Amino acid sequence: MLRSQFGKMTMVTAAGAMLMAAAACGGGTETTASPAASSAASSEAPQASGLKVGLAYDVGGRGDKSFNDSAYAGLERAQKELGAEIKDLSPAADGSNRGELLRQLAEAGYNPIVGVGFAYGEDIQKTAAEFPDVQFAVVDSASNGPNVTGLLFAEEQGSYLAGVAAAEKSKSNHLGFVGGVENDLIKKFQAGFEAGAKSVKSDIKLDIKYLTPDGDFSGFKAPDKGKIAAEKMYQDGADIVYHASGDSGLGVFQAAAAAGKQAIGVDSDQYETVKEADLKKVIMTSMLKRVDVGVFEFIKAFQGGAKGGTNAVYDLKVDGVGLSTSGGFIDDVAAKVDEAKKKIVDGSITVPSKP
């Protein structure tokens, strides 16, 4: 039961989410792709569609096995299914050239353009004003212009399920949370995780550690800091640590493997994206944040004529967030997780977005 609900999204579920996103993005007409447009093998598809999509990554860039890679999966899907010509760019280590990347894509004729991460909010607002005929989307930030679509996610809801699973599986009654940067977005992950865990065991202990303060995005690309933070939690008695720290999560997995404990991944199904066998076996689940779905649906809605100025929200109702089941580590608590999801969806549980 859990596997069908929280595993990789089926085509039927994805189609339903696409329809919602098209409406949220401005009411563009949703159409079914023709066989020619859906052919991943057609080398002529980009020229035939005339669709040129640009994407600028968050700090860490492509290859982080998490947030950015999930965005790329959506871009790649648009290339295969919609015949899009695609271009993806990574920022400098400190993210100082985000605006430059957006302008580079716009000047090269890419439309629409996606900025991956809330840090693009201000730069997209400025660039969108300079290029009013180009449609932009920003992940994790609300729309701030008539040609900007906000792609928002209910991270706290998916994290609540992770907390339920962790508390059910914990033998030490002690969990940990490692956040990359101490800002409002990552605190949503913490808040949901805490609430979910305490709904199972009100007295459960949680250790919280942020790798860098608000404004210092290096915390998303510091596996050494992630490892040190998780090592301390495992030494202090935690047996499961959940991370929301991008590339820094690799260090959390390394610490879990060394301690013989477990960890929870984030954004992508990290059991599948992490290749090291000794690390895969400690990833009991991942909180799926379907940035890939959000990016693809925005592009598809644009192709159907949708405009910006609105937000598209991806929550548990459309499987915009959820839990992975790869490895079968949480199969034994499936009923508990299913019950929690049902209550969140029907409104019986309201998950806090602040700790």
Whether residue 161 sits in one domain with residue 257? yes
What CATH number does residue 132 fall under? Answer: 3.40.50.2300
Contact 196, 350 (CB under 8 A): no
Cα radius of gyration (the chain): 20
Positions of the chain with pLDDT under 70:
1-49
Q: Specify whether 166 is located in the same domain as 285.
A: yes
pLDDT at 34: 29
Same domain assignment for residues 275 and 299: no
Q: Count how many domains the chain has.
A: 2
Quick one: pLDDT at residue 95? Answer: 86
* Dist. CA 69–CA 63, nearest whole Å: 6
* Cα 311 to Cα 52: distance, rounded to the nearest angstrom: 22
pLDDT digits (tens, 9 = 90+) for 11-37: 333 333 333 333 333 333 222 222 223
Please check whether residue 312 lies inside any domain of the structure.
yes
Does residue 4 sit within a domain? no
Residue 260, SS3? coil
| Alpha-carbon gap, residue 300 to 75, rounded angstroms | 11
Whether residue 139 sits in one domain with residue 34:
yes
One domain for residues 253 and 137? no
Question: Are residue 106 and residue 193 in the same domain, yes or no?
Answer: no
Looking at the fold, whether 75 and 203 belong to one and the same domain comes out as no
Q: Which domain holds residue 38?
A: 9-153+291-318
In a domain, residue 87? The reply is yes
- Are 86 and 193 within one domain? no
Contact 217, 209 (CB under 8 A): no
Give the pLDDT of residue 67: 87
Reference 213, options 248, 186, 241; nearest CA is: 186
Return the pLDDT at 140.
Answer: 95
Say if residue 272 is in the same domain as residue 200. yes
pLDDT for residue 9: 35
Q: Record the pTM.
A: 0.82
Residue 122 lies in a domain: yes
pLDDT at 93: 86
